[in-house]
Chains A and B, each alone.
Chain A
Amino acid sequence: MAELHPDSAYAPERFADPAKKVEFSPEAKKKFDYLLTRYPNKEAALLPVLHLAQEEWGWISPEAVHYIGGLLDLSPATVFGVVSFYNMYNQKPVGKYHVQVCTNLSCMIGRAYDIYEGLCEKMNVQPGQTTPDGKFTITEVECLGSCGTAPVVQINNDYHENMTVEKVDALLKTLK
């Protein structure tokens, strides 16, 4: 059989491996139980539970999709449909630092493409790819809602505002 590109929906990487079992840690399980009390039905807790899973494992693996589906009485297809609809759920593992550069109009006027293209070039990665040492993933994102302090770079959960090429370089050097 011809090799399938890992992004293809039929690539083996996209299917859960029954031998690999994932499970929430006791703390995450506690948070999960609390989340369920906040919604009138289980399905509504899906988005926050996926956030929880991503905090736990860094990405939403096919195994996690099955596990969460089991927890919330949803089919894996339903869960995967949600995961693939929303941008913030990583369908592939990301680096330790997920560098998300906003390039929408206000940031673009603030020369965000210099930052974004410069970073990809310097780290020698394609957009969305992770550096070989697993440290950085560079992604271009849509408006982060901080246009008054453009350009903005979001690293993991933190906003870094009023960025320039130099400031980003200095910032990345401080990340170990």
Chain B
Amino acid sequence: MEPIKVLTANIDKPNSASIDVYLAGGGYKAAEKALKMKPEEVTQIVKDSELRGRGGAGFPTGMKWSFVPKNAPRPTYLLCNADESEPGTFKDRVIIERDPHLLIEGMIISAYAIGSCPMSYIYIRGEFYFGATVLDKALEEARAKGFLGKNIFGSGFDFDITVHRGAGAYICGEETGLIESVEGHRGQPRVKPPFPAVVGVFGGPTVVNNVETLACVPLIINNGAEWFKGFGSPKNTGPKLYCVSGAVKKPGVYEFPMGISLKELIYEHCGGITGDRKVKAVIPGGASAPMLTADELDLPLNFDAVMKAGSMLGSAGIIVIDESMCIVDAVWRLAKFFAHESCGQCTPCREGTNWMETVLDRLERGHGRQQDADLLLDMADNIGGKSLCALGDAAIGPVISSVKKFRDEYLYHVEHKSCLPGTTRYRRLDVAMAVH
């Protein structure tokens, strides 16, 4: 499979973030076209394209839009989720920093389709300071050209966008956590139902879409649903940005029709593994996706195939772990992440993630106990499905999969109080600094 340039068509042009470059490439034509249609027609095209949300869950976008009730008592909102904080994911940043107008155009069309009120927010993670300035500049440019503001393209549709910076909380990438954060609260997810499509931000119906999802919308409007379905396989359509990082020679963002195999992506396009070592494990969809082993690399990377293999495509943040890394240490780092990012609302997640981190750390330090591997599975069992949002389920993904697939390494830590020969720990244990 050859790499394609569909979503990333603009990003290599000089000065690609400016509106002139975007207009020269046929920009804002889709918005003009869509605003001449009826909102239901726009939603129908997106439904026909079988576009699935690129943020992680893979929920059909058109369907999400059609859940928004008409004539709701409060204004309807569109929120863009640019809180890209899933470890291993860095695709949205490419669009934000190098093709912000594609996102803005996608938001105009989507807002029109759902009947949004004249204000909308891009929730960008606080660390993307540069990205936020790029977006602010792009929004200014779009306002100056009349693509945002009152009566866009003479359609009578008013729309504007505000960039809302987060402040460093992974949980705000969760739909309802994000909504809480836009409202100025602590980003603690809400109980569902009511789902955001009925009661979301400021009490109104709300659609939260990922950056990449929204960026697909202008392409679908321009080229039609059939064209979009030409990429990938049925139910898993469209171009997809894959982020590859970790122990590969050429990490980065790659665009392919959905469904390239993991092996081809790693060995043919990313140049293979650093130091020509072997693969030990691959995380296919950001830190929350269960690990795959070297035997499972033939897997096509689309939502359904990866799910069938017991993992998830998530945000397509692929992290490659080579054979020289101690798996317990790698999993410890992910457990530490989830322990740090648990919002503290649900007891199983708040306490459980910390205990998983503690047990993994004691294994690394040579204080592991015989029953620790099973203890981890037991803890995971008590977290999974017992928290309000998906963070609890995410946190147990790497732990369960690694204990099941690399049990010998866990047991070696218990028996020999050191890492399996040939594997190393990428941190020091003697320093007080390891404590967080």
B residues within 8 A CB of A140?
436
Contacts A86-B167, A105-B246, A142-B341; A117 near B90 (Cβ below 8 A): no
A47, A50, A72, A143: the one contacting B85 at CB < 8 Å is A143
Let me know if B202 and A44 touch, CB within 8 A: yes
Q: Mark B73-85, 1 if CB is under 8 A from A, else 0.
A: 0010000000011
- Interface-forming stretch among A5-13, A18-26, A107-115? A107-115
Tell me, yes or no, whether A144 is within 8 Å of chain B by CB: yes
Band of interface residues on B: 35 or more
Q: Mark A141-165, 1 if CB is under 8 A from B, else 0.
A: 1111111111000100111000000
Band of interface residues on A: 35 or more
* Min CB–CB distance A36 → chain B (angstroms): 12
Interface residues of B (CB under 8 A from A): 75, 84-90, 92-93, 119, 125-130, 162, 164-170, 181-187, 202, 243-247, 251-253, 283, 287, 317, 319, 321-322, 325, 330, 333-334, 337, 340-341, 343, 426-428, 431-433, 436
Let me know if A158 and B130 touch, CB within 8 A: yes
A127 to B426, CA, bound (A): 18
Let me know if A38 and B119 touch, CB within 8 A: yes
Let me know if A40 and B202 touch, CB within 8 A: yes
A41 to B203, CA, bound (A): 12
A143 to B244, CA, bound (A): 15
A38 to B245, CA, bound (A): 37
Let me know if B184 and A148 touch, CB within 8 A: no
Let me know if A88 and B119 touch, CB within 8 A: no
B residues within 8 A CB of A40?
75, 119, 202
Let me know if B167 and A50 touch, CB within 8 A: yes
A41, A45, A108, A121: the one contacting B330 at CB < 8 Å is A108
Q: Mark A27-41, 1 if CB is under 8 A from B, else 0.
A: 000000000001111
Q: Which of B127, B170, B183, B202 lies at the interface centre, i.e. has the most chain A CB atoms within 10 A of its CB?
A: B127
B185, B252, B341, B428: the one contacting A148 at CB < 8 Å is B252
A88 to B84, CA, bound (A): 15
Complex A-B: 23 CB contacts under 8 Å: A44-B182, A44-B183, A82-B184, A86-B167, A86-B169, A105-B283, A105-B319, A109-B321, A116-B433, A117-B428, A120-B433, A141-B168, A143-B88, A145-B92, A147-B87, A147-B90, A147-B243, A147-B317, A148-B252, A149-B251, A150-B245, A154-B127, A158-B129
Let me know if B251 and A147 touch, CB within 8 A: yes
B127, B187, B319, B431: the one contacting A106 at CB < 8 Å is B319
Let me know if A51 and B183 touch, CB within 8 A: no
Let me know if B184 and A44 touch, CB within 8 A: yes
Tell me, yes or no, whether A46 is within 8 Å of chain B by CB: yes
B residues within 8 A CB of A143?
85-88, 170, 287, 337
A82 to B431, CA, bound (A): 32
A72, A85, A108: the one contacting B426 at CB < 8 Å is A108
* Min CB–CB distance A130 → chain B (angstroms): 15
A105, A113, A150, A154: the one contacting B428 at CB < 8 Å is A113
Let me know if B325 and A109 touch, CB within 8 A: yes
B85, B130, B325, B433: the one contacting A142 at CB < 8 Å is B85
Let me know if B333 and A104 touch, CB within 8 A: yes
Let me know if B170 and A142 touch, CB within 8 A: yes
B residues within 8 A CB of A85?
169, 186-187, 343
Let me know if A147 and B169 touch, CB within 8 A: no
Let me know if B167 and A146 touch, CB within 8 A: no
A residues within 8 A CB of B125?
145
Contacts A51-B126, A157-B130; A142 near B184 (Cβ below 8 A): no
* Min CB–CB distance A64 → chain B (angstroms): 15
* Min CB–CB distance A48 → chain B (angstroms): 6
* Min CB–CB distance B201 → chain A (angstroms): 9
* Min CB–CB distance A150 → chain B (angstroms): 6
* Min CB–CB distance B369 → chain A (angstroms): 25
A103 to B168, CA, bound (A): 15
Let me know if A147 and B89 touch, CB within 8 A: yes
